[in-house]
Structure 1
Amino acid sequence: MKKILLSWAAITFISCNSNKNISASEREKIISELNYIGKIDQKFAGIPPADMTEKYGKNVWKIFEAKRDSVGKDNQNRIKKLYSQYGYLGFKQVGKENSTQFWLPIQHADHDIEFQKTMLVAMQKEVNRNNASKNEYALLEDRIAVNTHQKQRFGTQVTYNNFEQAVPKNGLIDSANVEKLRAKYDLPTLKEYYNGMTERHFKMNEKVFLQRGITEPKLYK
């Protein structure tokens, strides 16, 4: 993995967290906050819901994306505040599911790459302590690579080819050894992963594809 350089602001951000012990009452409040963050993140993670489409018609994507950006920035500010108070919230602090909810806004913070880089460094320490998800770490590392126009180590961030099949965005650093690396980080094989992403892509765009005469996803054999 290429060395990731951090700005002075990011370095200061890392050094400011307290990593203090969390009381039972604090943990309850943190989990409530993370539940809110996770729920609203996923609400805007896919395509506009039917009620928004019915209400806004052809303008729905513009409105949906503006709302998603606003929600994302608010969630990221909430995560930054939690991190500055408690450090990286891993399995031991809040449990596996809630740790994922802590990670989600970081993964989606594409407008704030320095924040993503800072959290990647913090997350790596927790992965080494078995206190954070290896596959979520891989997803974040690849996200940063794509956001900085580099090739990926794991191939988790996709775009779609002329056959509407998922392919690794910007390509892979080491295609010969990527499967071994993915297994080490608890990721499925590329074939499994890309077929799943291809099917999801088809379902999300089915009406458009049917108009183009594409009646089913073209999967890798």
Structure 2
Amino acid sequence: MTPTPASPRNAGRPSASLLTPDKITETAQKLMATEGDFTMAKLARALGVAPSSLYNHVASRDEVLAAISDQVAQGIDTQALQDAAAQVRGGTVSTLGARALWLEATERWARSYRQAFSVAPAVVMTLAVTPVRRAPATLAMYEQVTSAFTAFGMSPRQALLTVEAIEAFLLGAATDLHAPVDIFDPGDQAAEHPTMVEAYETLGGTPQDEAFTIGLSALLTGLSAALPATNSPPSPNKLPTGNLRIMQK
């Protein structure tokens, strides 16, 4: 008997079974990047499914935002901070060495944070006000950083406030990556603004990176001076560890 040929798949919307958490998250991010935001109805259309099918996979827009937050958070490196905290808790580091460790490890976290958030400005601004309680990877990242900061003598409250202070700078720096290259060009008003003209002409090709390094260095150096673990003189029996790499960039 000749087998009956399989009927071709009907054209139209793809099966909802093709939906995956990653596909939903990535599509939502693309909508935010191109259109500034998304609704569940708009997201369903972009995925080629009915809204009811989308709701079979995610309960709400907030859940999608939490998933985007977690996806971004997974690109943030906290390992150096955790390792530095372990050294300090082990009692093998002088107070001066602890300050150097904090500077180096926090810089590494900060740079990875900026890189992870180098997505569309609309995504950055939305995630900046998205609660962490539904985003386990995001919450874990904050726990790791605040816990590490407490090893350097901060209270949990001081640690979280310090994270928030650094984060405010990092979010702005991440958004600045998307600024047009000629944002500071005085244009046809050059004659009235000679200082801006000279500054703009000597900025170079990556002013955002240079500005970020200047700002991060000043911020972390200032914060490190107030570390409780660095307020006493270093032990003469212990040499500083780590290095002030941030000051050399």
TM-score, with normalisation over the residues of structure 2? 0.29
Q: Which has the higher contact order (CA 8 A, sep 6+)?
A: 2
TM-score, with normalisation over the residues of structure 1? 0.31
Instruction: Flag the structure with larger Rg.
Output: 2
